[in-house]
Structure 1
Amino acid sequence: MLSDEDVLAAVQRGLKQRGEPARTLRRVEAKITRHLLLEGEIVRCIESREEKPQLHRGPVDLSERPQYETDIDEHPIPAPRDPADRVTHTLVRRGTVRDRACDACGNGRTQCGRCRGAGDIPCEPWTACETCRGLDSCRRCDGTGRRTREAPDDEPDKDERVTCAMCGAGDAACAACRGRGRQKCARCEGKSTRTCPACSGDGTAACDRCAGTGRLVTWTEGVVEWRPHTDTIAPAADIPFRAGRQARERGDWTTVEASGERAAPPPDTATEVTRLLTPRLRPHPGEITRRISVRHLSVARVTLAEHPHRVFFVIPTAADPYVVRVSSPRRVWQFAAIALAAVACLVLVSWLVG
């Protein structure tokens, strides 16, 4: 952090570069306040553990999975090296694996639920003619086989008509159903039954419980999940935007890094930085490790009695301190009031002229 003398010297150089009279500024002439800029992140690894029963349809190899004893919460697992990693550990509780025959089928097959083991299902042997829909099957007998009316004098679609198979009238019947008004079912070919589509006529189907394997494997599974949680630290908005931008671009920031189960700022960290970080370092539920990665910079704010409308921000850099000059809040309000008054005058003139 720059001393008061270094801050005043930097302001004096800035005034001189702008053509101000060269003179030495004294401490009593200036009001100096400090603004600590702190930014970065705290990444935590949050752990959750749970047990749940598992069932697998058919054989399964669990030999590669790590095992734990009776309590998943007591099983030791080293914390991750990087708290930002998202990892899921899947374990098997020792002594809980059971491989047995399916108690619903025994061999992987069960009676087909649709045909109930018959292999075929009932089917309507006839369907309505798709061409005439039974409404215009034969113009003489309407598909009944008994002629109920005479042939019309003019047959507009005579070329599309054939001899009726029901009443024998020529050029009177629908070509698709030959006067019957219906057609044989294409699926059963008029046999009244068809092969069950669910089992293809076998009468059995794969058992739903074991997926047709005939075996069931059950065990107790332990799941340990690590997920990252990031707290972002941003500088407080208590300095003007332009000064903050120059601080980020030019400032000589000090980095603070630490990692571990209860990581904290190193002992040589500035007291104010440690004070600001301490409330953020309270452990979260399930936290097993964390990483602190922040940086800080102290910016000096200077006001001078002889320059009441100016505020100087002195930023430490790797070379000489950099000075940003901005208008004081009072000056900004004055400009805003002048602009507002000008707008009001324009509105009034426009109203009078109109």
Structure 2
Amino acid sequence: MLSEDDILAAVRRGLGAAGADPAAFPAHGARITRHLLVDGEIVRSVETREERTGFHPGSLDLSDRPRYDDLDGYAIPAPSDPGKPSALLLVRRGTVDPRPCDCTNGRRQCARCEGAGDVKCPTHVPCGGCEGRLCCLSCEGTGKPALKAADRPQGETGTRVDCRECGAEGAACGKCRGAGRKKCGVCRGSGTRPCPLCKRDGTIAHDYCGGTGRYVRWTEGVVERRPVVDTFKETSSLPDRAFAWTREDDGWQRVDTLDGDPDADADLDPGIAAFLKPRLGHHDGEVGRRVRVRHLSLARVTHDDHPHRVHVVIPGPVTPRVVTVRSPRRTRQLVLLALVVLVAAVAVARLVS
């Protein structure tokens, strides 16, 4: 942390004082306040454990999975990377239960055809040309001529032929010749067709056992770890734009992989320790964490002889750097002046008009 003498000397250099002459910016009348910029993240690995029923159709070798008796008491090393999700599958000791399925060698009766292999099919289907409507303008497919012939459908362009049902000339659909239907193209008028599910076998593979005739059940323990990330970017009583005043090559200090109590870390800056302490509380299920923080202590300097300026001193790798901005008081004065000018301009415009 820069001393007050270092801070004042940096401001003098920023003002162009030759040899950082103390007279250019005397200590008397200077007011120095310190502010902390902090940003970073805390990544926690949060663990959940649950038991569920494991199931696999067919046979399954579970000998390579770890066994446990008490899931909550099963010890697992802390994660090497808290930001990486993971899942561990365990088997409760003595619960693996391979069994034969109650189906017939992995097959079951087809529910669609009830084991028959065939399903019903209509012997005839509507004509593709007239769809059974006005198949004949004289008899409508009945073979008995009507007292009055129907009119041709509006917009019809196809040629009509002699009806084979009633003999009316030029009255019938050209595709069905007045029948209004045709034999089903699937069953050829037989009334049955192969079952689309079992292909006439009458049985299908049993879904439960995957057609193997066997299955395995067991009690499965699942340990999942997921990262929970808490990011922060804060300043102490400075506006957010204070971060814009800084650069990557400034004197940022970094804290990585802090796992314990920040108060117990003798090398940690007291200000950053106080900042981190309320954020490092233990979360439910937390089994590991990674802390990456960078912090920078700025100095804000004002002076009675320079009431319209604020000097921000930023530590650097070699020498501190100074950013000079308008004071809040000066900003208010300029805003007020702009309003006065605007009001005057409006008044003059009204007088002229």
TM-score range, shorter chain: 0.7 to 0.9
Could you tell me how far apart the structure 2 residues matched to 1:312 and 1:330 are?
14
**2:112 maps to which residue?**
114
Could you tell me how far apart the structure 2 residues matched to 1:23 and 1:293 are?
43
Counterpart contact for 2:13–2:19, Cα < 8 Å = no
Per-residue deviation, 1:175: 3.2
**1:41 maps to which residue?**
41
Could you tell me how far apart the structure 1 residues matched to 2:300 and 2:61 are?
68
Alignment of 1:4-19 (within 5 A): 4-17=4-17
Counterpart contact for 2:55–2:217, Cα < 8 Å = yes
Alignment of 1:329-340 (within 5 A): 329-340=328-339
**Code of the aligned partner of 1:15:** L
**2:75 maps to which residue?**
76
What do the CA deviations read for 1:39-65 (whole angstroms, capped 9, x no partner)? 22222111111111122222223233x
Relative to structure 1, the CA distance from residue 229 to residue 148 in structure 2 (aligned partners, 3 Å threshold; closer, same or farther) is closer
Could you tell me how far apart the structure 2 residues matched to 1:313 and 1:158 are?
90
**1:273 maps to which residue?**
272
Please report the TM-score for the alignment, with normalisation by the length of structure 1: 0.87
**2:31 maps to which residue?**
31
The alignment partner of 1:269 has SS state of: coil
Per-residue deviation, 1:269: 1.2
Per-residue deviation, 1:258: 2.9
**Code of the aligned partner of 1:200:** K
Q: Is 2:314 aligned against 1:311?
A: no
RMSD: 3.0
Per-residue deviation, 1:164: 3.7
Q: Is 2:164 aligned against 1:165?
A: yes
**Code of the aligned partner of 1:110:** R
Runs (5+) with no aligned partner, structure 1: none
The alignment partner of 2:235 has SS state of: coil
Range moving further from structure 2, 332-341 or 201-210:
201-210
Counterpart contact for 2:261–2:277, Cα < 8 Å = no
The alignment partner of 2:338 has SS state of: helix
**2:66 maps to which residue?**
67
Counterpart contact for 1:161–1:171, Cα < 8 Å = yes
Counterpart contact for 1:121–1:196, Cα < 8 Å = yes
Runs (5+) with no aligned partner, structure 2: 151-155
Relative to structure 1, the CA distance from residue 243 to residue 132 in structure 2 (aligned partners, 3 Å threshold; closer, same or farther) is closer
What do the CA deviations read for 1:240-287 (whole angstroms, capped 9, x no partner)? 566533333452122222344x46473121212111111111111111
Counterpart contact for 1:67–1:94, Cα < 8 Å = no
**2:214 maps to which residue?**
215
Alignment of 1:161-200 (within 5 A): 161-168=160-167, 172-200=171-199
**1:126 maps to which residue?**
124
The alignment partner of 1:274 has SS state of: helix
Counterpart contact for 2:37–2:236, Cα < 8 Å = no
Please report the TM-score for the alignment, with normalisation by the length of structure 2: 0.87
Counterpart contact for 1:141–1:149, Cα < 8 Å = no
Counterpart contact for 2:310–2:324, Cα < 8 Å = yes
What do the CA deviations read for 1:213-261 (whole angstroms, capped 9, x no partner)? 221211111111111122223131633566533333452122222344x
Could you tell me how far apart the structure 2 residues matched to 1:139 and 1:240 are?
89
Could you tell me how far apart the structure 1 residues matched to 2:58 and 2:32 are?
77
Relative to structure 1, the CA distance from residue 207 to residue 350 in structure 2 (aligned partners, 3 Å threshold; closer, same or farther) is farther
Could you tell me how far apart the structure 1 residues matched to 2:236 and 2:350 are?
41
Per-residue deviation, 1:165: 3.3
Range moving further from structure 2, 80-89 or 6-15:
6-15
**Code of the aligned partner of 1:60:** L
Range moving further from structure 2, 14-23 or 119-128:
14-23
Relative to structure 1, the CA distance from residue 127 to residue 238 in structure 2 (aligned partners, 3 Å threshold; closer, same or farther) is same
What do the CA deviations read for 1:193-221 (whole angstroms, capped 9, x no partner)? 22221221121122232232221211111
**1:224 maps to which residue?**
223
The alignment partner of 1:23 has SS state of: helix
The alignment partner of 2:257 has SS state of: strand
Per-residue deviation, 1:313: 1.4
Could you tell me how far apart the structure 1 residues matched to 2:165 and 2:274 are?
103
The alignment partner of 2:308 has SS state of: strand
**Code of the aligned partner of 1:219:** W
Could you tell me how far apart the structure 1 residues matched to 2:249 and 2:309 are?
21
The alignment partner of 2:211 has SS state of: coil
Counterpart contact for 2:36–2:236, Cα < 8 Å = no
Counterpart contact for 2:158–2:174, Cα < 8 Å = no
Counterpart contact for 1:68–1:75, Cα < 8 Å = no
Kindly, what percent of the aligned residue pairs are identical? 48
**2:140 maps to which residue?**
142
Q: What number of residue pairs does the alignment pair up? A: 348
Relative to structure 1, the CA distance from residue 314 to residue 199 in structure 2 (aligned partners, 3 Å threshold; closer, same or farther) is same
Could you tell me how far apart the structure 2 residues matched to 1:243 and 1:146 are?
98
Could you tell me how far apart the structure 2 residues matched to 1:159 and 1:330 are?
92
